[in-house]
């Protein structure tokens, strides 16, 4: 089988490529040049490209660099900036998976005649006899990445493989050590790849949109403080929001950019009983959940799963939690898992 492996320059994708070579497949590595600006974090630096190329040499496979900077800017960076301008909290890694890795790169893989596209994600694709493909959590619970892949459907799952999905992270590193791969001890990337570690989110956005000060008010509308940039405030945030009269921490309940207002409350006041997923953003691994169906929701990459019931309103799907949950910021992805088989992703949507 001819397999194109997306090699980020990290240990996971390095071992993914190695496993495919060991299995006897015809393997070619590909690293994506995504960000044209400065980067010293994430997976877009010059050093990462060099690491991927060196690993490919060690494995004896061809390696290519695909320039997708225009697509990345259009589908990931620009929406990231625009979302902050509207007081929303985007997830650029999910959008990169949606628009770049499992769209543009998958298309290129098909066009170049590869049978499959492989990545180093900690997730699994399974399929019962003649049944639909299933997207499942990775074997390593601590490193599971099914959440950031929750937008994948049958078309994508039929063409991708996740070679390390059955391995723990320690197993991955041990395998890299045995092979002498230069990425064996390389730390995992933790940050948004196009934001430098020194400038941070504020420095990155400062060059691309205007910041506006805003009044901070409590649930009654009484002023309790101010912030320098409403565009940098996230629903659920507590840092910099002060305390109530009883000494309890304030949490952001709502962000209104046009009104230049941030509403805060106690932890209990910030908690939510339901979240609406915008209809236009809904994706399903196979079939949509029926109204009234039970599911398990996860609202961040390593968030605690929460039992819920799926409903609907005029705007989209309503996820009604069994018990109050921490607030979900508008723009964040909510992944839904099967209530009977909690490892299986059902679908996902973006919070309104």
pLDDT tens digits for 16-49?
999 999 999 999 999 999 987 666 555 667 789 9
Domain topology for 2-120+163-179? Rossmann fold (3.40.50)
CATH of region 271-350, choose from 2.60.40.10, 2.40.30.10, 3.40.50.10680, 3.40.50.300? 2.40.30.10
Q: In the CATH hierarchy, which top-level class contains the domain 210-269?
A: mainly beta
Average pLDDT over residues 198-225: 94
Task: Give the pLDDT of residue 191.
Answer: 73
Task: Give the pLDDT of residue 41.
Answer: 57
Q: Is the pLDDT of residue 134 over 90?
A: yes
Q: Is the pLDDT of residue 258 over 60?
A: yes
Q: Is the pLDDT of residue 98 over 90?
A: yes
Nearest to 60 by CA among 13, 12, 28: 28
**pTM of the full structure:** 0.95
Lowest mean pLDDT across 145-154, 165-174, 215-224, 244-253: 244-253
Question: Which of the residues are catalytic?
Answer: 96, 193
Q: Is the pLDDT of residue 199 over 90?
A: no
Where exactly does CATH 2.40.30.10 map onto the chain?
271-350
> Which are the contacts of 171, defined by CB distance < 8 A and separation ≥ 6?
none
Q: Is the pLDDT of residue 331 over 80?
A: yes
Where exactly does CATH 3.40.50.620 map onto the chain?
2-120+163-179
The answer to whether the beta carbons of residues 58 and 17 sit under 8 Å apart is: no
Report how far residue 183's alpha carbon sits from residue 181's, in angstroms, rounded to the nearest whole number. Answer: 5
Task: Give the pLDDT of residue 126.
Answer: 97
Q: pLDDT per residue over 264-273, tens digit each?
A: 999 999 999 9
Where exactly does CATH 2.30.30.280 map onto the chain?
210-269
């Amino acid at each position: 089988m001819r397999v194109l492996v997306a090699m980020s320059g990290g240990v996971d994708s390095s071992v993914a490529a190695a496993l495919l070579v060991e299995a006897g497949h015809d393997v070619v590595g590909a690293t994506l040049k995504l960000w044209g600006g400065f980067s010293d974090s994430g997976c877009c630096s010059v050093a990462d490209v060099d690491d991927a190329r060196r690993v490919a040499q060690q494995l004896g496979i061809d390696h290519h660099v695909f320039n997708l900077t225009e697509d990345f800017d259009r589908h990931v960076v620009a929406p990231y900036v625009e979302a902050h301008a509207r007081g929303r909290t985007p997830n650029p890694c999910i959008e990169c998976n949606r628009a770049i890795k499992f769209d543009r790169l998958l298309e290129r893989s098909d066009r170049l005649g590869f049978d499959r596209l492989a990545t180093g994600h900690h997730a699994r694709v399974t399929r019962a006899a003649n049944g639909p493909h299933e997207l499942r959590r990775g074997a390593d619970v601590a490193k599971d990445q099914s959440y950031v892949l929750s937008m994948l459907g049958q078309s994508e799952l039929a063409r991708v493989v996740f070679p390390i999905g059955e391995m723990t992270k320690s197993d991955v590193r041990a395998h890299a050590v045995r092979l002498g791969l230069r990425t064996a001890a390389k730390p995992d990337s933790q940050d948004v790849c196009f934001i430098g570690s020194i400038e941070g989110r504020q420095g990155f956005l400062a060059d691309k949109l205007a910041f506006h000060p805003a009044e901070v008010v409590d649930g009654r509308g009484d002023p309790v403080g101010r912030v320098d940039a409403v565009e940098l405030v996230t629903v659920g945030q507590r840092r910099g929001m002060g305390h109530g009269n009883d000494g309890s921490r304030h949490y952001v309940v709502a962000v209104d950019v046009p009104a230049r207002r941030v509403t805060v409350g106690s932890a209990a006041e910030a908690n939510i009983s339901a979240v609406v997923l915008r209809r236009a953003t809904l994706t399903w691994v196979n079939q949509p959940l029926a109204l009234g169906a039970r599911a398990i929701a996860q609202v961040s990459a390593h968030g605690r799963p929460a039992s819920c019931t799926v409903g609907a309103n005029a705007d989209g799907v309503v996820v009604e939690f069994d018990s109050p949950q921490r607030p979900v910021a508008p723009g964040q992805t909510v992944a839904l898992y099967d209530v009977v088989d909690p490892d299986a992703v059902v679908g996902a949507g973006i919070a309104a």
